[in-house]
Amino acid sequence: MTASPATALPPALGREGARRLYRLMLLTRLLDERLWIVCRQGKAHFVLTGRGHEAAQCASALALRPGQDWVYLYYRSLGSALTLGFTPNDIFLGVLGKAADPISGARQLPNHFSSRALRVPTTSSSVATQIPHAVGTAWAVRVQGEDVAVFCSFGEGATSKGEFHEALNVAGIHRLPVVFFCENNGWAISVPLGEQVAGGSVAARAAGYGMPGVLVDGLDPFAVYQTTAAALERARAGDGPTLIEATCLRLVPHSSDDSDRYRSEAEKAALQARDPLPAFRDRLLALGVLTPGEPEAWAEQLQRELIAAQDTAEAQPPPEPSRARRWLYAEDR
């Protein structure tokens, strides 16, 4: 099934929701760019970002109920995290490896998002391991009778892992309240989609597990929002899981350690021309949701806020070396 493109403001989102969505996408992009600067300055050793995924991430997360629904993110989910309630300061503290990092106390790689208050469990660095965890949580939700959905995001490379297939099989058999959200940017690090996903479609695999599979344009925030909201409602109503495949763009290398030489300059330029951020800006300007000059004013304001958050985080102390091996064993409580 292919989701229809959204031609107008989704009623459930409205004008203010659309403005918030654009601002979140803009914040995600500006923070993404600043993290790369911090890394290239030698202040951070490694960054993983989701430039080109902003529409899919922010729009899908906006359909969630933070603190009620359970959410399993992955290492590229910067926009999702910001939409749910993580702050730029939280992100800087983690990337810079500061003791005050609220996500892991600087014990995890960047972008291993975690928050008890937001019901975002931590994930492993191993690809796809969050998918069976999400299914286990959905099973617990079913047992406890909660009016809650579970949302799990991952890249298309994760769908080649056994965890993906085992998890979807269990979710389909037991009709669990979980939404699987695949952000397909066409590249599993340096491996193109054609060598990674047999048949070329992730959504088509849903039929084998007894659930709907929906292909949505991940560059269309309204279509993503409506598709995700419908799948979440279906899950909460007891109608079972949904697999959504959102087609995205990866506008930057896989990570700060990736040369990206396996993609031609012409290919990368073609991707830049499809950037979802300016496209959504122009769309909202045409609809009268944004006024001329607003996007530029917002960008200037957000840049100032991000620089201030970075300065605050940089001033924080690193973790105490004596705590490096704490919590490795059961007696460390």
Q: Residue 235: its pLDDT value, please?
A: 97
Q: Residue 297: its pLDDT value, please?
A: 98
Q: Which domain holds residue 287?
A: 14-315
- Single-letter code of the amino acid located at 115: S
Q: Find residue 246's DSSP bridge partners.
A: 183, 216
Q: Span 191-206, mean pLDDT?
A: 92
Question: β-strands 213-217, 191-192: how paired?
Answer: unpaired
Q: Residue 233: its pLDDT value, please?
A: 97
> Could you tell me if residue 8 is inside a domain?
no
Under DSSP, the state recorded for 120 is B
Residues with Cβ within 8 Å of 150's Cβ and at least 6 positions away in sequence, in order, are: 69, 70, 71, 72, 134, 135, 137, 138, 141, 176, 177, 178, 179, 235
Copy the structure tokens of residue 157: 């490379």
Nearest to 249 by CA among 265, 273, 282: 273
Q: Residue 3: its pLDDT value, please?
A: 77
Residues with Cβ within 8 Å of 301's Cβ and at least 6 positions away in sequence, in order, are: none
Residue 117's pLDDT band, with cuts at 50, 70 and 90, is very high
215 phi, psi to nearest 5 deg: -100, 125
> Could you tell me if residue 322 is inside a domain?
no
> Could you tell me if residue 208 is inside a domain?
yes
Nearest to 83 by CA among 96, 95, 93, 73: 73
In 10 A of CB 187, how many CB atoms?
21
Q: Span 37-55, mean pLDDT?
A: 92
> Could you tell me if residue 174 is inside a domain?
yes
2 phi, psi to nearest 5 deg: -115, 130
Q: How many domains does the chain have?
A: 1
> Could you tell me if residue 330 is inside a domain?
no
CATH at residue 241: 3.40.50.970
pLDDT at 327 over 80: no
Q: Residue 105: its pLDDT value, please?
A: 86
pLDDT in tens, 234-268: 999 999 999 999 999 999 999 888 889 999 999 99
Distance CA(100)–CA(106), nearest Å, equals 8
Segment of 35-44, 187-196, 273-282 carrying the highest mean pLDDT: 273-282
Residue 6's pLDDT band, with cuts at 50, 70 and 90, is low
Q: Residue 104: its pLDDT value, please?
A: 87
Question: β-strands 70-72, 150-155: how paired?
Answer: parallel
Q: Find residue 192's DSSP bridge partners.
A: 187
pLDDT in tens, 213-226: 999 999 999 999 99
75 phi, psi to nearest 5 deg: -65, -15
> Could you tell me if residue 296 is inside a domain?
yes
> Could you tell me if residue 2 is inside a domain?
no
pLDDT at 94 over 90: yes
Instruction: Please count the CA atoms within 13 angstroms of the CA of 87 that sit on its side-chain side.
Output: 12
**Is 105 in contact with 96 (CB distance < 8 Å)?**
no
List the beta strands (DSSP E) in the chain: 70-72, 150-155, 178-184, 187-188, 191-192, 213-217, 242-247
Prediction pTM value: 0.94
Classify 17 in phi/psi space as left (phi over 0), alpha (psi -120 to 50) or beta: alpha
* % of the chain beyond a pLDDT of 90: 80
pLDDT in tens, 302-314: 999 999 999 999 9
> Could you tell me if residue 100 is inside a domain?
yes
- Single-letter code of the amino acid located at 299: A
SS3 state of residue 107? coil
200 phi, psi to nearest 5 deg: 75, 0
